[in-house]
Each structure stands twice: as C-alpha cells, then as structure tokens.
Amino acid sequence: MAFVQFPCSSLTLRTTSRSVFTAAPISASSKLSVQSSANNKTTKSTNWVASFNSKSLSFLLSGALSLSLSLTGVGVSEAKVGVNKPELLPKEFTYVIDVAGFLSDGQERRLVQEIDNIEKDTGFKLRLLAQNYPDTPGLAIKDYWQVDDRTIVFVADPTFGNILNFNVGATVDLDIPRSFWSRLAGKYGNIFYWKEKGEDASIEAAVMAISNCLREPVGPNNCSESQMNAEETRRKAIEIIHLSSKKRTAFGEAALKRNVDIRSSLRSAWHCKNTLLMESVLLFSLLQ
C-alpha cells in the first residue's frame, strides 16, 4: 500500500514504499493517532492502524527520505538525521510548499486553488510539500499546517525513485481504500513516469486523482482502479486536444505566412476542400 509507515529506527516496513522522512522519534498529535481500545475484542488490525498512524506522522514530520514503491510490497527504511527547518516555511500561509522548485508559479496557483476547493467541498485537508531531502522544513510543517485526522500530507520527493509519498489522517483512512494510495504511487510516482513527463506532471496528476477520489461517494467501489483509469483517459484526451490545437495553430501560421490575407487563405482552403487548413487559419487568427 502507499501509506508510508515512518518508523523511528531502521526497520523493515510493512508498506510498498520507502519512508518520506527519517529521523529520531517524536510524539505525534493525539488527533492523528487512532486510539487503541481497552476492549479485548479489538482486532489486531485496529491495533496495527493505531501504531501505523502514530509512527508514520512522527517519522514524516521529523524530516526524512522519499518513499520508493517496491514491487515486492516491502520497503526498507534508512535512518537519516532529522530535519526541522522552520526558516524554509513561507512567510504567508499556503497549502503548497515547493522548496524543490518543481512547480511554476502558475502551476502552484492552480494547485492551491484545487486544494482549496477540495477542502471546501469535502472537508478534507490536502497539503503538498515538494522537497529534495535534506532541504525540507521537516518537523516544522506539523504546526504550520495544523495537521489533524482529516489531513493528507503529500510529500513529493524523488530521492529514492518514487516521487509520491503520503501520510494520511485517521478519518481519511476510514473513507479512502488503502489500495488507492499504492495504485496512485505506482501509476504517477514511478521513476519512469516523472523522468519522462517531469516532477510537476506527477504532482499535478496525483493531486487531481486525489481530488476525484475524495469527491466520490463512500462505498465498496470508490477510488477504484477503474475510476482512476477513467480519469487517466480523460486527462489524455485533454492533452490530445491541446496538442491538436497547437498543431492546427502552427499549420494556420504557416498558411498565413504564405498568404498574409486571412480571407484569401480561407478562400484557397475552401476551394481545396481542406477543412483542416480552414480550422487552422481561423484558430491562428483568433489567437493573434
């Protein structure tokens, strides 16, 4: 699964990935820990969830290394010196902290708007930290973002291959299948994806997938692989349309260079029954 268990020492993880952060242990907020029940009938699974959330938050906020998705389903944690650099935090509050410089200003603004819409529509808080360890605020983000049970801390760090790392609050864990996070990391976080498309593309795709997942009605099929595939198909269609527009624009520009007058260019295209050329000339002229 893509939940990162952030142990306090160099231990074998029970997750599909490497830890986002490594450091000396800290005490997590009680809001982020699943309280263990005194009832003897409480299952081992519930106890494991409590231990998982408490340790993972401590490990994440102490500052450490990125998660690396393992095909075998087992990741190995490497202990690193903890990081706490509040000086790397922005002066003004924001949902997105990009200390690694993966995002353009425009991308950052769009992600901030999307995250704000998610919180307004669903009540869940998504927070994004883009880093290259050890250049990270580390522990400082806990108080800065007031991380609680309804918070998803998304750390984008390509240090160990897979760029997508998540720490999920207990309330989110109840609504979102754990398999969703591992599929998300496997699809958009693998090194081949972000090496080809860029770190920014991985981050944006992950945020949109999380947004769609959180908006789905809770049920046996929410955030399923089919839903993720449908979203991927939609994204690719948009990319194709955008690329097609660029090609048509370039085609129209070339036509106008040969014939500066737009009407003459359209007349020539009409006589040749060349619909693509007509669209290209019109599109390019409208963009001027």
The full set of domains in the chain, from first to last, is 30-223 (3.10.310.50), 242-287 (no CATH)
How confident is the model at residue 261, as a pLDDT? 54
- CA-based torsion, 74, 54, 172, 174: positive or negative: positive
User: Using alpha carbons only, what angle is made at residue 189 by residues 125 and 46, rounded to the nearest 5 degrees?
Assistant: 55
CA dihedral 193, 198, 203, 206 (to 10 degrees): -30
How confident is the model at residue 233, as a pLDDT? 54
- Round to whole Å and give the CA distance between 207 and 154: 9
Predicted model pTM:
0.56
Question: Among 45, 12, 21, 11, which Cα is nearest to 167's?
Answer: 21
- Round to whole Å and give the CA distance between 165 and 244: 34
How confident is the model at residue 107, as a pLDDT? 94
State which amino acid sits at residue 252. G
Q: Let me know: does 189 contact 156? Beta carbons within 8 Å.
A: no
- Round to whole Å and give the CA distance between 258 and 228: 45
Distance, C-alpha 87 to centroid of its chain: 24
Helix (H) / strand (E) element for 110: namely: helix 105-122
Per-residue pLDDT of the chain (288 residues; tens, 9 = 90+): 344 433 333 333 333 344 444 443 433 344 334 344 444 444 444 444 444 444 444 444 444 333 333 322 333 333 345 678 889 999 999 999 999 999 999 999 999 999 999 999 999 999 999 999 888 998 899 999 999 999 999 999 998 889 999 999 999 998 898 889 999 999 999 999 999 999 999 999 999 999 999 998 887 777 876 555 555 555 555 555 555 555 555 555 555 555 545 555 555 555 554 555 555 545 555 444
How confident is the model at residue 267, as a pLDDT? 57
